């Protein structure tokens, strides 16, 4: 089992707002019982209003992230973290006109719903 996890070999999923790279999850090697992923958000990026069915802890590695969760707005800078409670509506966007990078820890097999849409699997948590 390799203990080194090169970023360029991580499972990568790109959406309109960001690129997620799965570092560990139950389906990676090495496998873990938690999902950890890196999110890269380009300057000006904003995701849709959505919910996830499990809690997530997000650490901002670089840049700043504007977070609206349960209709409360925060701006979180590099080195700080924020908790996204499961089931809470949220919108994440870059802040300050710069790109941002985060590391997130969440429950494997999470499901997300955009707006009033049906929940779908979150592929970077698998």
Tens digit of pLDDT at every position of the chain (126 positions)? 568 899 999 999 999 999 999 999 999 988 999 999 999 999 999 999 999 999 999 999 999 999 999 999 999 999 999 999 999 999 999 999 999 999 999 999 999 999 889 999 999 999
- pLDDT at position 2 is 63
- In three-state secondary structure terms, 13 is strand
Query: Cα–Cα distance between 111 and 124 in angstroms, integer?
Result: 11
Tell me which DSSP letter residue 119 carries. P
How many structural domains does the chain have? 1
Is 27 inside any structural domain? yes
* Angle of CA points 78, 34, 70, to nearest 5°: 55
Is 50 inside any structural domain? yes
Is 51 inside any structural domain? yes
Is 17 inside any structural domain? yes
CB 2 within 8 A of CB 91: no
What CATH number does residue 49 fall under?
A: 2.60.120.10
- pLDDT at position 3 is 82
Q: CA distances (Å), 77 to each of 43, 58, 67, 112, in order? A: 14, 11, 11, 25
Query: Cα–Cα distance between 20 and 30 in angstroms, integer?
Result: 18
pTM value?
Answer: 0.94
Task: Output the DSSP codes for 14-65.
Answer: E-SS-EEEEEE-TTSSS--SSEEEEEEE-TT-BPPSEEESS-EEEEEEESEE
- Domain span at 87: 7-108
């Amino acid at each position: 089992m390799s203990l080194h996890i090169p970023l360029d070999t991580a499972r990568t999923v790109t959406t309109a707002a960001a690129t997620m790279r799965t570092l560990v999850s139950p389906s990676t090697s090495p496998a873990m019982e938690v999902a950890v992923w890196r999110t890269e958000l380009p300057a000006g990026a904003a995701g849709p209003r959505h919910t996830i069915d499990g809690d997530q802890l997000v650490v901002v590695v670089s840049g700043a992230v504007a977070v609206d969760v349960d209709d409360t707005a925060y701006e979180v800078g590099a080195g700080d973290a924020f908790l996204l409670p499961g089931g809470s509506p949220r919108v994440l966007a870059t802040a300050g006109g710069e790109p941002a990078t985060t590391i997130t820890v969440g429950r494997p097999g999470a499901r997300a719903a955009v707006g009033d849409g049906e929940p779908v699997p979150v592929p970077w948590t698998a």
